[in-house]
Structures are given as structure tokens and as C-alpha cells.
Structure 1
């Protein structure tokens, strides 16, 4: 049985969408909201600790 890559990708996409739909329903039922903007706002409140390597990389990139 030879399944093409397109068929496999399509099946995987369908399964992933079904999982997202179920997750959304569960979160809506529990009062949580799947919203990217809300998630970003929550992430802003958390302090971000950067290593020296990351700081040096950002300094080089900014220069």
C-alpha cells in the first residue's frame, strides 16, 4: 500500500485541526480563552532572563 505524501499531509492536517477544535471547546468550557493577544499580554508580565550569550548576540545584531 503506497500512500502519497499529499494524502499523509492531508490526514495529519485533519487530525491536527480536530485536536485544536477539541482543545478550544475544552478551554471555552473551563473559562479559558485561546487568544494570541491575551497570551502575549501574559508573557509581557513575566520577567525574561537572558544569558550573556543572548545579550551579546542582540548587541551584535543591533549594531
Structure 2
């Protein structure tokens, strides 16, 4: 085998790995437009009711 043939075989062996790594790195970037387009289906949590107990405790601790 010549040096050129050896180099070609080495590149051909590394090509699937390089393609796999490139897919892993590009997948999040390619998924972003799909996530932005689906913003209508965003589910938000209900707003929490504020009881105001923190302010009452703060005033009580200052007086004590």
C-alpha cells in the first residue's frame, strides 16, 4: 500500500465519526427555529398569590 492509499483509508475511517460529531453540534442550532415557531403552545404556570407575610415579619422583628 502506498502512502496516498493509506491516507485515503484513514480519512474514510474518520469521516463517519466527523459527520456524527457535526450532527451532534448542529442539532441544537437546527432545532431553535422549530422551538421559536411553536411559541403559541407555551404553557405557563399560574401566578402565585402573595400573602404579604414577609412584610409583617419584617416589621415585627424591627420592633422587637
TM over 0.5: no
Higher relative contact order (CA 8 A, sep 6+): 1
- Please give the range of the TM-score, normalised by the shorter of the 2 chains: 0.3 to 0.5
TM-score for the superposition, normalised by structure 1: 0.36
Which structure: larger Rg? 2
TM-score for the superposition, normalised by structure 2: 0.35
